[in-house]
Structure 1
């Protein structure tokens, strides 16, 4: 998919979600230059394989943005760019001369997506995916989350914001600026919990026997027969049972693989629950 062919992106964001967003834009055909400090991107230490995957097809440039030389070279890159992605706090953008108010008069065609943790006036407050989720009731202490929900949702917001800015520039001839706030992205992802759907006993939180996780003879199965047609097939395939207790007893009688195959055969969303360590 080369819908962004001819678009040049400079990504100064490290870790997540900026590099993930840049990777998505690169897969859409954009030419991406990834700017890292002399010490590199910490993501390479956290997960070298994921770091490499997100950087595929991109040009890597190492710059010390705290020096005049580094800022001069960055300015040369931005002069040829259509989009800049940053993930620094507002005060740091100002200090590095990367704030929109500073850049826009110099680079009139440049659009900017700035990723922040919190909206103003809390833009400089420190945060990470874990703390965004913790503040929204999305954790089950002491367990850590199995995915970086806010960062990945933020990456998707960064991509959609970038596409919107580029479209508006082509449509109206004006470059623009967009903020992506990770705490807001996490809050939007927490909406199913906020509105009660996934709370204990909620429709998707154990309140519907046709939408639950059940122990099989050798593991667990996830059952998502929420729509009437799926629910009717499920109940019929289990001999007409309908209560959570009856369904649980039925699923315990066979192996998880058997139930997954039955789901495929009858077009019912039934999947074996696989351990995280078995997905590598």
Structure 2
């Protein structure tokens, strides 16, 4: 352990190839690049589709990577990919299963170049479960996430960000690193569907074991803990999350509420309790309640916009070339990530025959 920042990250010396578009796969490899891995983005001559969204969008998923243009629809392109794979530790592919197999991007195809390479297939439904169009919002709808989001008497809705893609990217990165630690090559299969079902863990367990069907609750109320939801205040909304009796005692003391001393009582008298808490919270602003409750150790926060949150957390913003971006969420003692700029298309090499029709990735 060194006292100062290390010159290289924990994944220094690990070489990762990425083939894919837009979000889940690129987010996975960016997390690895932030930890010191050398990530080479294999792009068709037309580039990752996220380049067409906006420069800042592309930068938010691709900082610190290399870019090589290859047309995998050509023998030369596939041969060059094989050369790169022979020196790589891992390959993350974010394409539909038929494309992964057609262009030889699974382990059975890549092992001819490198027996020890770890290949990660990041798909919508799994490497063996078909080519159905799989996008973040579609999977949130299909797996029950949308049905659990929103007001009880309103329509289903979606979070304001790509929860499925980001979660699956992190899971893919974990799967890759876990297999690398084994010292063996092989195939890792991660799907958006499976990740979202996994993240509904206690909701699924309640249904499968106790017959409790998940339902939406007013103000996003938790299915087990009371009070644990959003509350309107004199100004703004407050998120309050009371998960045990100690939190309740601290909150009740500050709020001047008597009774409801046990979790069982709070659950059984949910509606009565919520009316009491809701009435008290309207006597002050969300910002003031946060300031009053946090010193008592009560989990509470005023609802803020993203710009407000970023202004309050300046350390979460870093510079990568010409872009200001959100830093890696992984903090390792003694290591400070070097946030490189996003690569220009083909900055580190081009296919020898770029004029042929590119493979649709």
Question: Cα distance, 1:47 vs. partner?
Answer: 4.8
Do structure 1's residue 84 and structure 2's residue 110 form an aligned pair?
A: no
> Is there any run of 5+ residues in structure 1 with no aligned partner, and where?
none
Normalising by structure 1, what TM-score?
0.90
> What is the rounded CA distance, in whole Å, between the counterparts of 2:223 and 2:291 in structure 1?
23
Q: Is contact 2:123–2:134 with CA below 8 Å preserved after alignment?
A: no
Of 164, 186, 190, the residue aligned with 2:200 is: 190
Aligned position for 2:237: 220
> What is the rounded CA distance, in whole Å, between the counterparts of 2:305 and 2:60 in structure 1?
23
Q: Deviations over 1:66-89 (max 9, x none)?
A: 122222221221121110110122
> What is the rounded CA distance, in whole Å, between the counterparts of 1:65 and 1:71 in structure 2?
5
Classify the secondary structure of the residue corresponding to 1:97: coil
Question: Cα distance, 1:105 vs. partner?
Answer: 2.5
Question: Cα distance, 1:62 vs. partner?
Answer: 1.7
- Root-mean-square deviation (CA, aligned residues, Å) is 2.4
Q: Deviations over 1:208-238 (max 9, x none)?
A: 4421211111110000121221111011111
Compared CA separation, residues 102 and 200, structure 1 to 2 (3 A): closer
Classify the secondary structure of the residue corresponding to 2:48: coil
Compared CA separation, residues 21 and 121, structure 1 to 2 (3 A): closer
Aligned position for 1:31: 38
Compared CA separation, residues 198 and 47, structure 1 to 2 (3 A): farther
Normalising by structure 2, what TM-score?
0.70
Q: How many residues align?
A: 276
Q: Is contact 1:209–1:247 with CA below 8 Å preserved after alignment?
A: no
Aligned position for 2:296: 266
Q: Is contact 1:193–1:199 with CA below 8 Å preserved after alignment?
A: no
Of residues 23-32 and 121-130 in structure 1, the stretch that sits farther from structure 2 once superposed is 121-130
Q: Deviations over 1:91-121 (max 9, x none)?
A: 1122112232111133212111111111365
Q: Larger helix proportion, structure 1 or 2?
A: 1
Alignment of 1:138-153 (within 5 A): 138-139=145-146, 140=150, 141=155, 143-153=157-167
Compared CA separation, residues 206 and 176, structure 1 to 2 (3 A): closer
> What is the rounded CA distance, in whole Å, between the counterparts of 1:268 and 1:218 in structure 2?
20
Alignment of 1:198-209 (within 5 A): 199-200=215-216, 204-205=221-222, 208-209=225-226
The structure with higher relative contact order (CA 8 Å, sep 6+) is 2
> What is the rounded CA distance, in whole Å, between the counterparts of 1:264 and 1:18 in structure 2?
38
> What is the rounded CA distance, in whole Å, between the counterparts of 1:79 and 1:15 in structure 2?
26
Do structure 1's residue 239 and structure 2's residue 256 form an aligned pair?
A: yes
> What is the rounded CA distance, in whole Å, between the counterparts of 1:120 and 1:22 in structure 2?
19
Aligned position for 2:351: none
Q: Is contact 2:18–2:29 with CA below 8 Å preserved after alignment?
A: yes
Classify the secondary structure of the residue corresponding to 2:111: helix
Classify the secondary structure of the residue corresponding to 1:183: helix
Q: Is contact 1:90–1:99 with CA below 8 Å preserved after alignment?
A: no
Q: Is contact 2:92–2:121 with CA below 8 Å preserved after alignment?
A: yes
Runs of 4+ in 1 over 4 A off after TM superposition: 201-204, 276-280
Classify the secondary structure of the residue corresponding to 1:61: strand
